[in-house]
Amino acid sequence: MANFGIILKTRATLHPDGEPSDFVSEHAGIITCTNDETGEQTKVGKIAALRVHAALAQNAGESLFDVCDSHSGELHFLHTMLYECDCYHFRDYVTDRFDAMQSDLLVLDYVVLSPKWRKLKLGLLAVRKMVDLIGGGCGLAVSLIAPLRRDAAKLLGIPKGWLPRHESKEERRAAAVRLRGHYRRMGFSRLGRTPYYALPMNQVVPTAAELLGPEAT
């Protein structure tokens, strides 16, 4: 038998006069497997997320646009899509659809597993745990749900064999559909015509036991 867990590392600055992007905290997690008999612990996956601290930026008088724009192109895109211009709250359609009253945003970057541990729903459980641990006070969690490309292995610091090979666009598209189906079980729904999916943070998320149970037909 084995136990699975996540070891989290969070990075944030302590300098009072930093960059606007300092209002984005970065969270990296190692998914581990511990052998119950030997106590040996092995790394079986990785997960990463970002949190946009919109409320803290507002208190500090820092432009939320500058916070997102200075961090990355992805956050610039998400800010434009989700937040009111020159404000610290979500757009009306986001608030109405997802009841997103809190202003912070959780961005689930990626989750990747060793091939040996796939099809056990570990990835979905890891996402749920990340939401529990670092999503408190957020109005919304979002994720671009798509298979990672094989050329991302070096950037992520993982073996290339951890990333599945898709021989055609059709195979990659089918893999994306399967992933999105898993995320929908947790409560994610698509954001318009974009590849992003969103999870309202005020709703009750299925328990780990429910996620491990049989899928509804």
> How far separated are the first and last CA of the chain, in Å rounded?
30
Is residue 42 domain-resident? yes
Is residue 92 domain-resident? no
Is residue 203 domain-resident? yes
Is residue 137 domain-resident? yes
Residue 26 one-letter amino acid = E
Please choose, from the candidates 134, 158, 189, the residue with its C-alpha nearest in 3D space to the C-alpha of residue 24.
134
pLDDT digit string (tens) for 114-143? 999 888 889 999 999 999 999 999 999 999
Strand partners, 143: 108, 197
Sign of CA dihedral 179, 183, 185, 188: negative
Is residue 94 domain-resident? no
- pLDDT surpassing 70 at residue 26: yes
- How does the average pLDDT of the chain come out, rounded? 90
Give the pLDDT of residue 215.
Answer: 65
Is residue 84 domain-resident? no
Within a 10 A sphere around the Cβ of 113, how many other Cβ atoms?
19
CA distances from 116 to 24, 35, 41, 163 (A): 33, 15, 15, 12
pLDDT digit string (tens) for 70-108? 999 999 999 999 999 999 999 999 999 999 999 999 999
Of the pLDDT bands very low, low, confident and very high (cuts 50, 70, 90), residue 30 is very high
Using CA atoms, how far apart are residues 190 and 97, in angstroms rounded to an integer?
11
Is residue 133 domain-resident? yes
- Any alpha helices (H) in 92-168, and if so which ranges? 92-98, 122-134, 153-156
Radius of gyration, CA atoms only, the chain:
18
**What's the total number of domains in the chain?**
1
Is residue 217 domain-resident? no
Supply the CATH number for residue 28's domain.
3.40.630
By residue range, what is the domain housing residue 181?
A: 2-51+106-212
Within a 10 A sphere around the Cβ of 213, how many other Cβ atoms?
12
